[in-house]
């Protein structure tokens, strides 16, 4: 998977969701198949355990897939604090949406008669996934329901090679990506891969993106999908995993 840019703010809830969906459609099918297995995802849940409804279900599922979150729980910053937990430094919130009803006085153009008209407006509030929060009770981090075993092909020499690289690496969720802003690589756990050869190749791909950070080789990592510069960066990463 390619490197991941930071989220942009200042957009209306409808615009933000629409742009994310369009970006996913523009990306289309990747030219390679993910060499790892997914894990089952529950319906998105509020901190109190109540399921989200409507558009929030599709939206939060999509965000969880993009970011590799395994927990179904979502909460506000203050809800996390009330549970004695803390959102990790540098984590970005997403939005949950709701409709707010209000009454507006309107005047009929033909008679001038004034009546109250009920209207609804789309609002949003920031939420974080439990995977972005430290110190939550264990119930917020449900164990995977799959019986997973360590794949074949582990090489101690390759383990040592990758361990010597001073990268901020975390194993979480079901997506592999590099975040230039956080300067961090995220990988699915090795047990989700069909073989360690696929794990090592995917890790090498993301580490190739990692080398382009401004503090290292200084490549431009802010290019939009579909541009020549984006394609060139992907070629660098594909060469690195070969």
**Looking at the predicted structure, is the pLDDT value of residue 121 above 50?**
yes
Mean pLDDT of 147-152: 62
Residue 58 belongs to some domain of the structure: yes
Residue 126 belongs to some domain of the structure: yes
Name the phi and psi angles at 156, rounded to 5: -60, -35
Mean pLDDT of 198-211: 90
Residue 132 belongs to some domain of the structure: yes
Residue 70 belongs to some domain of the structure: yes
Mean pLDDT of 27-38: 49
DSSP conformational letter for 32: S
Range of the domain at 90: 41-143
Residue 155 belongs to some domain of the structure: no
Q: What total number of domains does the chain contain?
A: 1
The residues near 66 (Cβ < 8 Å, ≥ 6 apart) are 4, 20, 24, 175
Contact in structure between 202 and 192 (CB atoms under 8 Å): no
Residue 48 belongs to some domain of the structure: yes
Q: Which of 1-5, 29-33, 73-77, 91-95 has the lowest mean pLDDT?
A: 29-33
Residue 12 belongs to some domain of the structure: no
């Amino acid at each position: 998977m390619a490197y991941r840019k930071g989220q942009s703010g200042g957009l209306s809830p409808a615009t933000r969701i629409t742009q994310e969906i369009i970006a996913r459609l523009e990306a289309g099918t990747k030219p390679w198949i993910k060499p790892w297995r997914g894990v089952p995802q529950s319906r998105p849940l509020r901190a109190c355990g109540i399921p989200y409804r409507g558009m929030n279900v599709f939206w939060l599922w999509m965000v969880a897939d993009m970011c590799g979150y395994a927990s179904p729980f979502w909460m506000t910053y203050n809800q996390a604090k009330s549970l004695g937990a803390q959102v990790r430094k540098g984590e970005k919130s997403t939005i949950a949406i709701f409709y707010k009803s209000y009454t507006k006085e309107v005047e009929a153009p033909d008679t001038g008669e004034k009546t109250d008209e009920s209207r609804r407006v789309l609002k949003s509030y920031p939420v974080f996934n439990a995977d972005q929060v430290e110190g939550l009770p264990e119930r917020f981090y449900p164990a995977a329901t799959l019986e997973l075993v360590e794949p074949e092909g582990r090489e101690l020499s390759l383990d040592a090679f990758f361990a010597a690289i001073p990268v901020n690496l975390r194993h979480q969720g079901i997506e592999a990506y590099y975040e230039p802003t956080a300067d961090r690589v995220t990988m699915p756990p090795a047990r989700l891969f069909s073989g360690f050869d696929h794990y090592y190749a995917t890790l090498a791909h993301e580490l190739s993106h990692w080398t382009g950070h401004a503090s290292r080789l200084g490549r431009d990592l802010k290019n939009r999908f579909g541009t020549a510069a984006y394609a060139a960066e992907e070629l660098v990463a594909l060469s690195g995993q070969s």
